[in-house]
Amino acid sequence: MSTAAPAHILLLPGDGIGPEVVAETTKIIDWFSKNRGKTFTTSSALVGGSAYDETGNPLPPETLEAAHKADAILLGAVGGTKWESLDYSVRPERGLLGLRKELQLFANLRPAICFPALAKASTLKPEVVAGLDIMIIRELTGDIYFGTPRGVETLPDGTRRGINTMVYTTPEVHRIARVAFDLAGKRNGRVCSVDKANVLESTEMWREEVQKIGDTEYPNIALSHMYVDNAAMQLVRNPRQFDVMVTGNIFGDILSDCAAMLTGSLGMLPSASLGAKDANGKIPALYEPVHGSAPDIAGKGVANPIATILSFAMMLRYSFGRGACADLLETAVTEVLESGIRTADIVEEGSRKVGTAEMGAAIIARLQALAAQDQSLKTGS
Ligand code: NAD
């Protein structure tokens, strides 16, 4: 029975394996809706190549309207070879970029979690990555990607000069810092801010402003600072030292991919992109797997749905404040992996290979068993 106000989730399955992995996640959403004291309603809309095929627009206005109204959005993936020759302005990826821009999603959250059962899949030693659980927060809308002046000019002597400008303003730094501190408060209470303050003035300012927000608004969160070169080294040397890492757009681009690969498989990695709180306290939020539409395996029923299912766990935790439900879902995934049930991308000797739907069903069966084991969980978080 539902004890909390219902929430609406907009599903954007997209292209390739997107609809397959979103379909399995929808069953998990329904399970939580029926069993955990909060009702989730869902509706679907078109995005990406499939939206282009139907409407000539990878982000139709009705999808955008539904995105603005939803409490949270779950996206599968966009893109594929079929649309590669289209003009850039109507390519499937424009649908996703358009959503990020329209909803002003400035904070990209990428957890790097290494399930002990998959520690062998990492290129690092299992004892370095087993049990890893870090969160990288990348600022998405500022920095050298957007700063001006930019471009390439030809000098009088015929040589060329390329220019990009690294720029941040204090409000941009403050808002991403607050996202990091808030998340650390829901995790292990530690933030490491990454910069290059020894060389770049804009990041020296970043460091000072993050410290200011930490001192004045989050005295209970332990804040440290690290230069980006050292952070890259520490991520592969001893990644478990980190809880939340926060950094600018370009450093985050590189560090989040590096951290993601610590965990071994693309089919396991969730993400979230968050915007600023509006007057009603709502934070626009888009949750999606890190992987793409995987055209090579689309339609075969073999894609790993776990990255999308874990994206829903992030939604439970960060959009709906249901940390206990997120823990329950992550435990179910962990136990299914430990039982040796694997999709093709993470299969290993001695494990049982299953398809997308079987993996979804195994996770639901585990949720059911966990809920039955602990009746007290039934009241929700
Ligand atoms: P990809 O992530 O789609 O696939 C890379 C490899 O990983 C492929 O071999 C694929 O089969 C495998 N893989 C990916 N997800 C998997 C899963 N859940 N289970 C099992 N195996 C999985 O990257 P790509 O091949 O470079 O790109 C394919 C298309 O996806 C392109 O059109 C690209 O633009 C698009 N793309 C979209 C997004 C997004 O929607 N956010 C992200 C990246 C790429």
Task: List, as one string, the DSSP characters of 108-164.
Answer: EEEEEE--GGGGGGSSS-HHHHTT-EEEEEEE-S-GGGT-SS-EEEE-TTS-EEEE-
Q: What's the rounded mean pLDDT across residues 41-54? A: 98
Q: For a substitution probing ligand 1, which of 21, 291, 308 has the most ligand atoms within 8 Å of its CB?
A: 291
pLDDT value at residue 2: 47
Looking at 165-319, list the stretches that DSSP marks H as alpha helix, in order from N- to C-terminal side: 170-186, 201-217, 228-237, 249-261, 306-318
How many angstroms is it from 89 CA to the middle of ligand 1?
21
How many C-beta neighbours within 10 Å does residue 166 have?
18
Q: 43: which strand partners?
A: 10
Question: Is there a catalytic annotation at residue 88?
Answer: no
154: which 2 tokens?
């030809």
Q: Determine the Cα–Cα distance for residues 214 and 173; give it in Å rounded to an integer.
A: 12
Catalytic residue, candidates 53, 133, 253, 327: 253
Q: Is 77 in the pocket of ligand 1 (CB under 6 A)?
A: yes
pLDDT in tens, 74-119: 999 999 999 999 998 899 998 998 998 899 999 999 999 888 888 8
Q: Is 80 in the pocket of ligand 1 (CB under 6 A)?
A: yes
Cβ-Cβ contacts under 8 Å for 23 (sequence gap 6 or more):
13, 357, 360
Q: Kindly report the CATH class assigned to 114-264.
A: alpha beta
Banded model confidence at residue 368, pLDDT cuts 50, 70, 90? very high
Catalytic residue, candidates 215, 257, 277, 378: 257
**Rg over CA atoms, the chain:** 21
Q: Is 308 in the pocket of ligand 1 (CB under 6 A)?
A: no
Ligand 1 atom showing the smallest separation from residue 345 Cα: 20
Q: What's the rounded mean pLDDT across residues 48-70? A: 97
Poorest-pLDDT segment among 227-231, 308-312, 368-372: 368-372
Q: Determine the Cα–Cα distance for residues 185 and 190; give it in Å rounded to an integer.
A: 8
350: which 2 tokens?
């001695």
pLDDT value at residue 289: 94
pLDDT in tens, 304-349: 999 999 999 999 998 999 999 999 999 999 999 999 999 999 998 8
Q: How many CA atoms lie within 13 A of 81 on its CB side?
A: 5
φ and ψ at residue 58, rounded to 5 degrees = -70, -15
The residue whose CA has the least distance to atom 42 of ligand 1 is: 292
The residue whose CA has the least distance to atom 20 of ligand 1 is: 303
Domain with CATH 3.40.718.10 in the chain: 1-106+275-381, 114-264
Q: Determine the Cα–Cα distance for residues 29 and 35; give it in Å rounded to an integer.
A: 10
Q: Is 355 in the pocket of ligand 1 (CB under 6 A)?
A: no
- For residue 162, pLDDT over 80 is answered with yes
pLDDT value at residue 196: 98
Q: What's the rounded mean pLDDT across residues 170-190? A: 95
Peptide bond preceding 149 in cis form (omega within 30 of 0): yes
Question: Is there a catalytic annotation at residue 374?
Answer: no
Question: Is there a catalytic annotation at residue 196?
Answer: yes
Which amino acid, one-letter code, is at 88?
Y
Question: Is there a catalytic annotation at residue 257?
Answer: yes
Ligand 1 atom showing the smallest separation from residue 75 Cα: 40
Q: Is 303 in the pocket of ligand 1 (CB under 6 A)?
A: yes
How many angstroms is it from 296 CA to the middle of ligand 1?
9
Nearest-10 Cα torsion for 273, 291, 252, 97: -50
How many angstroms is it from 51 CA to the middle of ligand 1?
18
Q: Please, are residues 262 and 239 in contact by the beta-carbon 8 Å criterion? A: yes
Q: What's the rounded mean pLDDT across residues 208-213? A: 98
Question: Is there a catalytic annotation at residue 143?
Answer: no
Beta-strand pair 190-195/160-163: unpaired
pTM above 0.85, yes or no: yes
CATH second-level architecture of 1-106+275-381? 3-Layer(aba) Sandwich (3.40)
How many C-beta neighbours within 10 Å does residue 375 have?
8
Q: Determine the Cα–Cα distance for residues 263 and 143; give it in Å rounded to an integer.
A: 27
Of the candidates 120, 165, 149, 113, the residue with the CA atom closest to the CA atom of residue 134: 113
Q: Is 255 in the pocket of ligand 1 (CB under 6 A)?
A: no
Q: Please, are residues 251 and 226 in contact by the beta-carbon 8 Å criterion? A: no
